[in-house]
Every structure is written in C-alpha cells, then in structure tokens.
Amino acid sequence: MSAGGAFGGNRGLRPVPPEKGVFPLDHMHLCDLEKKDYLSCLKSSGHHSEKCRQFSKKYLECRMNKNLMAKQDMSELGFTKDIDMEEKVNARINT
C-alpha cells in the first residue's frame, strides 16, 4: 500500500519551489520589446545565442526591474565585465 498522494506526491508535506528556473510569466507584457529583440537576434544569427548576449542581458534586467524575477548580480547569471566590454567593442566595429 502506498503512503503517497496523487501522482506519487507526499501528503501533508509542503512543496519546496526551485531556487532558479521558475518565475512569474509576463502576463502584462512588460518586457515584450526586450523579448522580441532577443528572439529576432536569435533568428537572424541562426540561433547562436552567444551572438545575442546583449539582448539576453537586457531582457533579464527588464524582468528584474519589473519584479518578474529575483534581482541578482549579472555575474551570477553568466555576464562578466570582460564579456560586456567585448560586446561594446563588437558593437562599435559592426556599426
């Protein structure tokens, strides 16, 4: 006989949310412009995300500023000062 609930869950125990990876959806479309810029970049670059890092960073910053995700230092999300400087140099070269 099983002591678990429906679908194998434990009865009486509160679920613990994951630390990262799940955050509120943008139902109010507060960061749509940043999302569209990022997706457009991905499409034009053949889905090479490293070429769209500046758009990814702007999107994450928008989500943090609008309280759609917890505020974190960008270095914890994989953005370092060296990469930021490299992006600025590449942006200047491409214009």
Q: Count other C-beta atoms under 10 Å from residue 56's C-beta.
A: 19
What's the domain count of the chain? Answer: 1
Residue 38 lies in a domain: yes
Q: What is the pLDDT of residue 33?
A: 97
Residue 62 lies in a domain: yes
Residue 4 lies in a domain: no
Structural domain containing residue 48: 29-69
Burial class, 64, CB count within 10 angstroms (exposed 0-12 / middle 13-18 / buried 19+): middle
Question: Per residue in 8-59, pLDDT tens?
Answer: 656 666 767 656 666 678 889 999 999 999 999 999 999 999 999 999 999 9
Residue 41 lies in a domain: yes
Residue 2 lies in a domain: no
Residue 17 lies in a domain: no
Residue 14 lies in a domain: no
Residue 36 lies in a domain: yes
What pTM does this model have?
Answer: 0.63
